[in-house]
Amino acid sequence: MDTLNILLMGFISIVIVNNLVFTKFLGICPYLGVSGRIDMAFGMGMAVTFVVTLSGTLTWLIDHLILMGTPLEVTRYVCFILVIAGAVQLVEMYLRKFFPSLYESFGIFLPLITTNCAILGMCLFINLWGIESLLEAVVLSFGAGIGFTMAICIMAGIRENLNMADVPKCLKGAPITLITAGILAMAFMGFAGMIR
């Protein structure tokens, strides 16, 4: 019961209270790039969720079973980025085989997930927070993906309506998206008191 409680709290906190996009500024590049249409945003979110869960788990395992306590610890970042690159490669092959239409619509963004800060950032945060159990690491990285998907879908919904709004010319595109994200971040600040 206690474990379940911790896991649930961790999940909610990473999805809402410590949302990667709004509080840690991770994954801003795809956030600005892909949030134009809601279906693409959702697809991107799903791809990120999958990769982040996979690489979060794998990096936790590598970190705890191989690197920790040995001089190899200095190669941590190199190992992490290799694992992520591998996981992205796997997702890419899987999508090309089974969902060719989704693969087409991702275009350049799929390989770009490798350089998505949300994924490496999550692996680093798991290391930084000193998460001790594998289960917790899995739940947290899955939650991070869900949080990212939620953030990017909310944004895509707003941007679809923003197309019809009368935005000053110099603010069109990225600037107004950032300002909208700021207001959203303010809304998410309201959740801050929810979990210690």
Partner 1 sequence: MTGKTEVQNTAYRQTLLAGLWRENPVFRLLLGMCPTLAVTAAVKPAFTMGCCVIFVLVCSNIIISLMRDLLKPHLRILMFTLTIATFVTIADLFLKAFVPEMSETLGPYVPLIIVNCIIICRAEACASKNGIVISIVDAVGMGAGFTVTLCTLASIRELLSTGKIFEMQLMPEAFVPWAAMSMPVGAFITLGLMLGLVNKITNKEA
Q: Which residue has the tokens 């990667």?
A: 20
Comparison of 23 and 105: residue with beta carbon closer to partner 1: 23
Q: How far apart are the first and last CA of the chain?
A: 19
Comparison of 77 and 99: residue with beta carbon closer to partner 1: 77
In whole angstroms, the minimum distance from the beta carbon of 144 to partner 1 comes to 13
Kindly write down the DSSP assignment for every residue of 49-87, as one continuous string. Answer: HHHHHHHHHHHHHHIIIIITTSGGGGGHHHHHHHHHHHH
In whole angstroms, the minimum distance from the beta carbon of 1 to partner 1 comes to 32
In whole angstroms, the minimum distance from the beta carbon of 4 to partner 1 comes to 28
Comparison of 40 and 120: residue with beta carbon closer to partner 1: 120
Q: Site residues (CB under 8 A) for partner 1? A: 22-29, 32, 74-78, 81-82, 85, 111, 114-117, 120-121, 124-125, 128, 168-172, 174-179, 181-183, 185-186, 189
Task: Tell me if 56 sits within 8 A of 123, measured CB to CB.
Answer: yes
Comparison of 3 and 111: residue with beta carbon closer to partner 1: 111
Pick the closest to residue 84 from 120, 109, 60 (CA basis): 120
